[in-house]
Amino acid sequence: MPQVLLGAHSLSEPEPPTRLYDVSRAVRHPDSRPGSLEHDLLLLQLAEEAALGRAVRPLPWQQEDRELPGGTRCDVAGWTVGTPFGRRPDRLLEALLPVLFRSGCNLRAIHRGRLAAITERQICTDLRRLDRCRGDSGSPLVCGGVLEGVFSSSGPLCGDPRGPGISTRVSSYAPWIRSVLEDGAGN
């Protein structure tokens, strides 16, 4: 059974708020396909309610279907942020990245060795400053305290300046997310 670790900021040091939860349900977007970045979204339902506190709390998510303007600065977090080679860091890392305009993003988007078309359902962040890497799929893209995206892919190599960081824009999936949440409320 899959599990989710909440509250961790270190992989080696004991932290009182850290707790492992079983996942009771995983719901992949029905239009997602292997090898494609389009509709790259998976929702997880925990088997029990998470214990909330300083290190674990709900994050509001963007439900208004609107485009983030290029230049908007957003927070990202992950275990391999900025570490293209070598081992995974011990501590959860965080960075501030600017959102790219879609036109500029499409000129640089490379996925699986070929140019990828970035759609209105995706957000691009600038890799030249810092990016998330393999193992960070599902990491949050938070702008102004609101979840705007979920990390999907970087270029062929982590931190490769030839391509942007690509995230799924959650607001474009708001009706589907709400339907999954409503369906899960009865479980």
DSSP string, 24-76: EEEEE-TT--TT--TT--EEEEESSPPPPSSS-----B--S--PPPTT-EEEE
Share of the chain above pLDDT 90, in %: 42
Share of the chain above pLDDT 70, in %: 78
106's torsion region: left (phi>0), alpha (psi -120 to 50) or beta?
alpha
| Domain residue extents for the chain | 3-58+173-185, 73-172
Six-digit token string for 102: 């879609």
Check for a shared fold between 3-58+173-185 and 73-172. Answer: yes
Contact yes or no for 132/153 (Cβ under 8 A) = no
25: Cα separation from own chain's centroid? 19
Higher pLDDT, 47 or 38: 47
Contact yes or no for 62/147 (Cβ under 8 A) = yes
Quick one: 73-172 is in which CATH superfamily? Trypsin-like serine proteases (2.40.10.10)
Q: In which band, very low, low, confident or very high, does the pLDDT at 131 lie, cut at 50, 70 and 90?
A: very low
Contact yes or no for 76/94 (Cβ under 8 A) = yes
How is domain 3-58+173-185 classified at the CATH fold level?
Thrombin, subunit H (2.40.10)
Which helix (H) or strand (E) element contains residue 22?
strand 19-28
Q: Is the dihedral of CA 76, 25, 59, 14 positive or negative?
A: negative
Mean pLDDT, to the nearest integer, of 16-35? 91
